[in-house]
Amino acid sequence: MNDSPGWATPGSSPSDGERPGAPADQPAQPAQPAADPRWSAQQPPPGQWQSPAPQTPPPPQPGGQGWGQQPGTPYGGQYGYPAGPGQWGQWKPPAAKPGVIPLRPLGLGEILDGAVATMRTHWRSVLPITLVVATAVQVVSLLAQKYAMADLALTSDTGADAETSLNNLGTTLTLLGATLFITALGSLVATAMLTMIYSRAVLGTPSTVATAWREARPQLLRLLGLTLLLGIGGILLFVVLLLPGILGTSPGLIILGAVASIPLIVWLAIKFILASPALMLEKSTVFKSLTRSSKLVKGTWWRIFGITALTSIITGIVSAIIVWPLTIVGMVAFGGGLTGIENGTASTAWGALIFSGIGAIIAQTITMPIQSGVTVLLYVDQRIRREGLDLELARAAGVENYGTTGG
């Protein structure tokens, strides 16, 4: 199977001494004696040197091998196109691109560009999802910061009685737990819906929020189970590695276990990073999605780790550029200025918290779809490389003759 359409005409080339289109009963012209290859026998008058007129290839004709390509003829082997004898190399037309990415193995720039292009092209579907989720998360986070920090300050006060300290600590833990729950739930819903939007964007198909929700809803419970399994697994792994130091009351072993857990948790996180898009797009179960992710990542762990890490760095820088200026303005304007920053009251002032929350909402609205999009496109890229998913995507996008013509 060829990767690109050929540009050669069907049939064989005319024989020596024959002219294309000449009648069959017309005798062939006698062969001319060979000229001296070093110099032409007859030269045109001065001023009449002309470059040969370029030969224009006929339009490709469907059918046969490639687009009417002669068997055994390399692409562009006629009409002076590259890949002919003595030419520079084989010419191939660009891959089909029905949506935000070309249907072929992707590079780093194409993955990042595809994530940003989806957010830019389908912003009516992407931004409302991330805006709602970011707003809900930041409202709960703002309340937790406002009251939990105040309660922690009271709890640390040596003059407070035990009952008051216990009540304040309970309130703090409740607010922090609510913040973590809302954050996890919002990220879960956003990831599920954004996965569906990106899967349609690859095909060049528009999406709506209602469509994304309808397609993602049947898998939400399984996605929740996958998220809990990965989270609990990471916590258990961390505790197991700390356990020898805790049982032996050895600070050195505790530190060693904590340090050893970091690379192991990162390795497992990358190994199973494609489980979420596999679960959503293949409609599989939790354990099958983990197996699929492990299979797709195998042999390319460092590449996926590098792309994921670079994406995190980029989104972190973007978030810092947005959040920190607003946070500083809020603390200076509404937190008592430098005095409030020094004594720590500026960080819990309403004005500072609101400004910081607004910055976080804007940052999450922008960066969340980029992170989700990179993960989905990594999944698509790995399936194209290993399983030829581009053929199915081309058929789903309505690209004609893809696979037999090189798309």
Residues 6+ apart with CB under 8 A from 346: 331, 332, 335, 336, 337, 340, 352
How much is the average pLDDT of 202-209? 92
Q: For residue 160, what pLDDT is reported?
A: 52
The confidence band for 149, taking pLDDT boundaries of 50, 70 and 90, is: low
DSSP three-state, residue 228: helix
How much is the average pLDDT of 127-134? 93
- Largest separation between any pair of C-alpha atoms in the chain: 119
Contact predicate 222/279, CB 8 Å = yes
Gyration radius from the chain CA atoms: 32
387-402: pLDDT as tens digits: 999 999 998 888 877 7
Which amino acid belongs to residue 302? W
pLDDT of 145 higher than 60: yes
* Encoded tokens for 18: 């024959």
Q: 69 has which bridge partners? A: 65
Q: For residue 330, what pLDDT is reported?
A: 83
Q: Return d(Cα 403, Cα 1) in angstroms, integer.
A: 7
**Backbone angles phi and psi of 101, in degrees to 5:** -135, 150
Residue 339 CB neighbour total at 10 angstroms: 10
Lowest mean pLDDT among 57-61, 72-76, 179-183, 252-256: 72-76
Q: Return d(Cα 36, Cα 33) in angstroms, integer.
A: 10
Which amino acid belongs to residue 89? G
Q: Return d(Cα 318, Cα 363) in angstroms, integer.
A: 7
**What value, to the nearest 5°, has the Cα angle with vertex 344 and ends 343 and 345?**
100
DSSP three-state, residue 12: coil
The confidence band for 266, taking pLDDT boundaries of 50, 70 and 90, is: very high
Q: Return d(Cα 380, Cα 390) in angstroms, integer.
A: 9
Half-sphere exposure of residue 396, counting CA atoms within 13 Å on the CB side? 14
Q: For residue 22, what pLDDT is reported?
A: 45
Position with higher pLDDT, 175 vs 305: 305
Domain ranges of the chain: 118-392
Residue 384 CB neighbour total at 10 angstroms: 20
* Encoded tokens for 166: 């216990």
Most confidently modeled range among 46-60, 132-146, 196-210, 240-254? 196-210
Contact predicate 374/115, CB 8 Å = yes
pLDDT of 275 higher than 70: yes
pLDDT of 201 higher than 80: yes
How much is the average pLDDT of 334-351? 71
Q: 65 has which bridge partners? A: 69
Residue 347 DSSP symbol: G
Contact predicate 277/379, CB 8 Å = yes
**Backbone angles phi and psi of 66, in degrees to 5:** 65, -140
Burial class (CB within 10 angstroms; exposed 0-12, middle 13-18, buried 19+) of 100 = buried
How much is the average pLDDT of 178-207? 88
pLDDT of 119 higher than 70: yes
Lowest mean pLDDT among 132-136, 267-271, 374-378: 132-136
Lowest mean pLDDT among 99-113, 255-269, 271-285, 387-401: 387-401
pLDDT of 380 higher than 70: yes
